[in-house]
Amino acid sequence: MKTAIIFTGHMRSFEKCLPTLHWHVFRHYPDADFFVSTIEDADAPKAQLLRVKYPSARVEIEAVKEQPDCVADMRAAGVDLPNEWLKGKPYTHEPYAISVHPQAVLRQLWQLGEGWSLFCEKADGEYSTIIRCRPDLWFHSYTKPSFNAGDSDIWCPWWGNFGGINDRFAVMGNTAASRYFNAYARIPELMKQGCPLHPESI
């Protein structure tokens, strides 16, 4: 049983972060394959560093040309979003004011779904452990979870959270991963139940 490491988002500082990711995290998973869903911009080619660093691993890379208007998508799905966003001010009733435009929050979650779709399309064989990782994470330490990668198990940092579950890094089994990566599709349902538009709350 193998490990799948799924990156989603911009690759803007990946060349600086990869050495710490390798030392603290990836070297503990020598059987890992990599799946990257990013945006077609000047930084996208940095994903190729994985092929250089891990020549024996499977590396699948997909860069979307353009992300959708996710705010419009949510409104079309019946989500009642405020018309105006002011930096530093609550947008809905999130526990921490979101620091970027709601469009960016939604697009991050949309890109997560793209990463899962890429994995489901390209995965070869069975993966007992799935790791969600942002390309711009700088690790100082990491302790590999001691669990059997049960289908519904998920491990994420208890520190560095802002009003919910840390949404930047997680180690999980397949059932948990299918829910985690497909959060975007559940936003209308969650917000109708009272969830704020906040990535960690979602």
Which tens digit of pLDDT belongs to each residue from 58-76?
999 999 999 999 999 999 9
The answer to whether 180 and 170 have CB atoms below 8 angstroms apart is yes
| Sequence-distant (≥ 6) Cβ neighbours of residue 194 within 8 angstroms | none
Question: Is a pLDDT exceeding 80 seen at residue 33?
Answer: yes
Residues of 1-30 as b/e, b for ≥16 C-beta within 10 angstroms? ebbbbbbbbbbbebeebbebbeebbbeebe
Give the pLDDT of residue 193: 95
Strand spans (E) along 110-153: 127-133
Give the pLDDT of residue 46: 98
Above pLDDT 70, what percent of the chain? 99
Q: For the whole prediction, is pTM greater than 0.75?
A: yes
Distances (CA, A) of 148 to 24, 56, 112, 121: 20, 25, 24, 25
Question: Is a pLDDT exceeding 80 seen at residue 50?
Answer: yes
Give the pLDDT of residue 124: 81
Name the pLDDT band for 5 (thresholds 50, 70, 90): very high
Stretch 94-106: mean pLDDT, rounded?
Answer: 91
Instruction: Give the tens place of pLDDT for each residue, 122-169.
Output: 998 789 899 999 999 999 999 998 766 678 888 988 777 777 888 899
Q: Which class for 177: exposed (0-12), middle (13-18), buried (19 or more C-beta within 10 A)?
A: buried
Stretch 47-54: mean pLDDT, rounded?
Answer: 98
- 54 versus 174: the higher-pLDDT residue is 54
Phi, psi angle pair for 65, to nearest 5°? -75, -35
For residue 175 the two structure tokens come to 């059932």
Give the pLDDT of residue 120: 96
Give the pLDDT of residue 149: 63
The DSSP 8-state label assigned to residue 34 in this structure reads E
Stretch 171-182: mean pLDDT, rounded?
Answer: 92
